[in-house]
DNA sequence: AGTGAAAATGATAGATT
DNA sequence: AATCTATCATTTTCACT
């Protein structure tokens, strides 16, 4: 379904999502028209889900990253859906994954200070109904930031 | 340092990193010239670290996400640097964080299958010298994908 | 800092191979 | 499917406020 040129396009757009179509066409060895057509097809098929500016968390006053593993009291559909809705509604939760194993979800949290984190746990996390346990691990720093996906050739 | 308009710009560019400068200017209530100037300043200051296309992992044959917590045998500077270099060099490791607590690093892994994961652990992870322990948790799915940072108004 | 207009660059559709 | 070309939109610069 994806050919070699598509994969090159995806790689380049992961590295620089704002590159011009002309530059992109150059890099993948195509002229601008077919290159743009391929990009549009990839966008419409959802292979390219979107484009995002990557922001320096510290520069915007959000130096603290925490990973929180939570478990639920029960796994009835109603409770799970309510919890997931709550997760999606809390802005400090910037990513969330459903886990296989002892814990149910892994949440990635971004806040400005430890005080804010305490506040976040008290007012946004513990208030979610149906949570059984909350385990926090703080990150000191980022060793490797979000990298291009290892798309196989 | 950042004013209200800067924050609006950052929010919009996190939501859509390929929005045109004209559209962006409209949304933040500015004309295109000063809007572009602000964007350039934010880029040069590193507040905007870059732009990335967001790719659908499943669509490119990478449906499996795993979180791996590792500990090191020792924390001498030389070993730490070598481990971090290795982490940065392995493409399947798409993110890595230095942790506070029992484990030393949290790695986010993306692979195409459980077989590939096994292979990855054997050939890319266990081969990193200085690792004491490796603990894997698989993710069933994504409940909340990378969301705009909660930049306070 | 912001405006507005002019020049440069890029995006896009259509005819062609 | 890709290229080439013509047209249209956007970006970018600059003189002015």
**pLDDT value, residue A95:** 98
Domain co-membership, A70 together with A135: yes
Question: Quick one: tokens of A92?
Answer: 């400090």
Residue B144, pLDDT > 90, answer: yes
The helix/strand/coil state of A143 is: strand
CATH number at residue B104: 3.30.70.920
Domain co-membership, B74 together with B124: yes
Residues lining strand D, beta carbon within 7 angstroms: A 5, 30-34, 37-38; B 20-23, 32-33, 36-37
Question: Does A77 fall in a domain?
Answer: yes
Question: Does B144 fall in a domain?
Answer: no
CATH number at residue B27: 1.10.10.10
Domain co-membership, B133 together with B78: yes
Asked if strand C comes closer than 7 Å to A20 Cβ, the answer is: yes
Average the pLDDT over A53-76 and give the result. Answer: 97
Domain co-membership, B75 together with B31: no
Q: How is residue A103 annotated by DSSP?
A: S
**pLDDT value, residue A32:** 94
Question: Quick one: tokens of A88?
Answer: 């999606």
Domain co-membership, A81 together with A130: yes
Question: Does B130 fall in a domain?
Answer: yes
**pLDDT value, residue B152:** 87
Averaged pLDDT of chain B: 96
B69 membership: H or E segment, kind and range:
strand B64-72
Residue A1, pLDDT > 90, answer: no
* Pairs across A and B, CB distance < 8 A: 223
How many domains does one find in chain A?
Answer: 2
For B69-116, how does the pLDDT look when each residue is reduced to its tens digit (9 = 90+)?
999 999 999 999 999 999 999 999 999 999 999 999 999 999 999 999
Q: Are B145 and A146 in contact (CB under 8 A)?
A: no
Question: Does B147 fall in a domain?
Answer: no
Gyration radius of chain B's alpha carbons: 20
Question: Quick one: tokens of A121?
Answer: 């746990």
Q: How far is the CA of A45 from the C1' of D4 (A)?
A: 28
* Domain with A105 in it: 64-139
Residue B153, pLDDT > 90, answer: no
Q: How far is the CA of A35 from the C1' of C14 (A)?
A: 16
Prediction pTM value: 0.94
């Amino acid at each position: 379904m994806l050919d070699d040129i598509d994969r090159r396009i995806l790689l380049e757009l992961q590295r620089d999502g704002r590159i011009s179509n002309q530059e992109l066409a150059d890099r993948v060895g195509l002229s601008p028209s077919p290159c743009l057509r391929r990009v549009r097809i990839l966008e419409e098929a959802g292979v390219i889900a979107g484009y995002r500016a990557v922001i320096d968390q510290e520069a915007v006053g959000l130096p603290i990253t925490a990973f929180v593993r939570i478990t639920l009291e029960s796994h009835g559909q109603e409770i799970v859906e309510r919890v997931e809705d709550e997760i999606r509604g809390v802005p400090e939760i910037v990513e969330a994954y459903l886990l296989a194993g002892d814990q149910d979800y892994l949440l990635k949290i971004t806040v400005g200070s430890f005080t804010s984190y305490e506040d976040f746990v008290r007012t946004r996390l513990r208030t979610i109904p149906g949570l059984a346990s909350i385990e926090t691990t703080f990150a000191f720093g980022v060793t490797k930031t979000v990298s291009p996906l290892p798309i196989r050739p």
